[in-house]
Amino acid sequence: MYDPITLHSPEERLNDPDLTEQSVELWVKRDDMIHPFISGNKWRKLRYPIQEMRQFGKHQLVTFGGAWSNHLLACAAAGARFGIKTSAFVRGEPVDNPVLGMCRLFGMKLRFVDRSAYREKKELFARHYDANQAYFLDEGGYGPSGARGCSELIDELRQSYDHIVVAAGTGTTAAGLQQGIWKQQLSTQLHVVPVLKGAHFLLEEIRNLGTDPADLCFHWDYHFSGYAKVKPELLNFIQQFIATTGIMIEPTYTGKMIYAVYDLIRKGYFRRDSRILCIHTGGLTGLLGQLAHFDTIWENPEQ
């Protein structure tokens, strides 16, 4: 089978004294180590769409995202690596930033569209591209092929876990992980931390991918006011976590997810002796736009 990236994503145990005190085992699945730019769940979501493109003889990938989208960067890097032309519709006014700059370096063509036009993705695609040549990939890699790629993470696990925890944007990764859990007939409970505020649309999106959202356990209260929003409490936690574990996380996805896990552990949510696995979904280039948020911490180091 076509498998052009050799997966390297170990499961690592965190040895935090607080965790020992609470008598839980916490592990991290290091999908951030898969690739620096085609990182985390983004490679898992891209794998089958790229395979389908080859099958149907399509040479151009067309996708959608915001100006700091990890998905756009992953598509751009994958396109460069696998000889696929990539184009993206970027939401909002023309801007430049390090993520878009790297997308351009990988050869991606960017087209900025205002928010109302951006909503009509199929229409934008139909107006600018020939569906026989170009492949439509939804924002964030949302879709059943993406979920299928994510389901394979479960097949890689080297031991059993009572709980698996993942952040959710579109819910594709969560839907896929649950499909993997079924396929392997595991009793593992999947926990989902939505990073958007008022993200109940996720239930429908997950159902549309063939997963019953009732099988998932949602933790709705860790969005910190919304997508890419941060609070000092979250930033302090992230800074502490990075400095004590050596594992880089960022405020938009993985920071909120790991914060949620520690908060739930502290509140005694998980039974004693539970073994918990956090999925590090990568996306660290997003940090490039958020480092300035940490300035307040560095100005008051003893806080």
Ligand X SMILES: *Cc1c(COP(=O)(O)O)cnc(C)c1O
- Residue 22 vs 254, nearer CB to ligand X: 254
Is position 65 an interface residue for ligand X (rule: CB under 6 A)?
Answer: no
**Is 213 among the residues that bind ligand X (CB under 6 A)?**
no
CB of 56 to ligand X, least distance (A): 24
Kindly identify the residues of this chain, within the stretch 145-184, that bind ligand X according to CB under 6 A: 167-174
- Give me the least distance between CB of 141 and ligand X, in Å please: 7
Residue with CB nearest ligand X? Answer: 283
Binding mask 34-53 for ligand X (x = CB under 6 A): ------xx------------
> Least distance from C-beta 252 to ligand X, angstroms?
7
Q: Tell me if 71 contacts ligand X by CB under 6 A.
A: yes
Both tokens of residue 294?
């940490």
Pick between residue 22 and residue 222 the one whose CB is nearest to ligand X.
Answer: 222
Which residue in 65, 140, 180, 213 binds ligand X (CB under 6 A)? 140
**Min CB(147)–ligand X separation in Å:** 8
Instruction: Give the integer Cα–Cα distance in Å for 95 and 112.
Output: 8
Query: Going residue by residue from 183 to 202, which x/- string records binding to ligand X, judged by CB under 6 A?
Result: --------------------
Smallest gap from residue 300 Cβ to ligand X (A): 28
Backbone torsions φ then ψ of 110, nearest 5 degrees: -110, 135
Please report, as residue ranges, which positions from 245 to 284 form the binding site for ligand X (by CB under 6 A): 253-254, 281-283
Give the C-alpha separation, 47 to 173, whole Å.
13
Of residues 173 and 178, the one with the C-beta less far from ligand X: 173
Residues that bind ligand X (CB under 6 A): 40-41, 70-71, 140, 167-174, 253-254, 281-283
